Amino acid sequence: MVLATPFLSLMGCSDASQDLVTLDGKTMGTTYSVKLAGTPRGIDERALAQDIEETLESVNLQMSTYRPDSELSRFNAADEGAWVSTSADTRFVIDAALRVSRLTAGAFDPTVGPIVELWGFGAGHDDPQLPSPEDAAAAREVVGFSKVETRSGDSAVAKQTRGVNLDLSGIAKGFGVDKVAEYLEREGVENYLVEVGGELRSKGVGPGGKPWRVGIERPSGVPGDLQQVIELKGEALATSGNYRIFFEQDGRRYSHIIDPRTGRPVEHSLASATVVAPTTMEADALSTSLLVLGPDAGMKLAVEQDIAAFFITGNGESLSETSSPAFARRFKS
């Protein structure tokens, strides 16, 4: 068993298998792993690894908020009302993020970055703290997906309000996984498992012709403690959780999962949300959305939209699991 993320474990994938090739590295501030079973005869694994790196680097160059030369950074630095040209890929991901924002009535919002930073949960921060009411109010003024404009006919985007920033971290890793999967399929690879920062996409079978098996981690804080093991068959999977990153102040716990609608960390019992979907980009955004919505509203949306979702609620030793009808149909015991 190879631990992939705080939330997922890849199972039944021994790197000693003769028919398994594993390519891994770092990207987007996290790690990636590409497992190939029975690669096509004559394929150049070194060239394959280089192309995967270049594919992920291209996504990073387009959508990173930490690179001043990225397309997203150019948008964030632009003035109010200025139309900023982007690549087709960046516009595709922005459009997808805005669709999920509308679907969830703002529970998913790619403009929430200033609030996340204000609470001290942004990348590079190690001192989360309660913001002042004045600072919180100011941050909320520049948050809201409706403040981002797109236009038909080209890939340009604009902001309606000065200070609005886009942060696609809740969806871009999933898109990166999909881009790698698309590349592998163009190269004739029929059996793969691609993972970037815990977001997964599979096709075909693993070593020995067995399905790719993925373990969903129990939010107990014990590495490798699994709640459930499922088999992926040409599907994508993503899990979001709120139990690892938090701070406590005056006896109260504050999670790093921010509800864009309130500007505050979520306060409910849903510890993790897993989504299985056709694409990793979709699974990535929806798992975050459902976690923000919480156990009741999140499951209501999953049922209404036929989303394959798996929830773990509670904390410590008191945990329970709930599956949406779509998830239960797909993963019958």
The helix, strand and coil proportions of the chain, stated in percent and rounded to the nearest 5, come to: 30, 30, 40
The pair of three-digit structure tokens given for residue 167, joined into one six-digit string: 């942060």
Binding site as annotated, residues for Mg(2+): 170, 284, 288
Locus of tokens 């790093």:
256
Query: C-alpha distances in angstroms, 182 versus 56, 92, 106, 169, 277?
Result: 12, 15, 30, 20, 16
Query: C-alpha distances in angstroms, 243 versus 3, 135, 218, 255, 312?
Result: 18, 26, 10, 7, 11
- Centre a 10 Å sphere on the Cβ of residue 264 and count the other Cβ atoms it contains: 16
232: helix, coil or strand?
strand
Q: How far apart are CA 303 and CA 174, in angstroms?
A: 22
Its sign, for the CA torsion 27, 28, 31, 33, is negative
| Residue 296 near residue 267 (C-beta atoms within 8 A) | no
Q: How far apart are CA 108 and CA 105, in angstroms?
A: 8
| Residue 32 near residue 197 (C-beta atoms within 8 A) | yes
Binding site as annotated, residues: 170, 284, 288
| Residue 67 near residue 28 (C-beta atoms within 8 A) | no
Locus of tokens 């609030």:
115
Q: How far apart are CA 327 and CA 95, in angstroms?
A: 26
Reference 285, options 256, 309, 255; nearest CA is 309
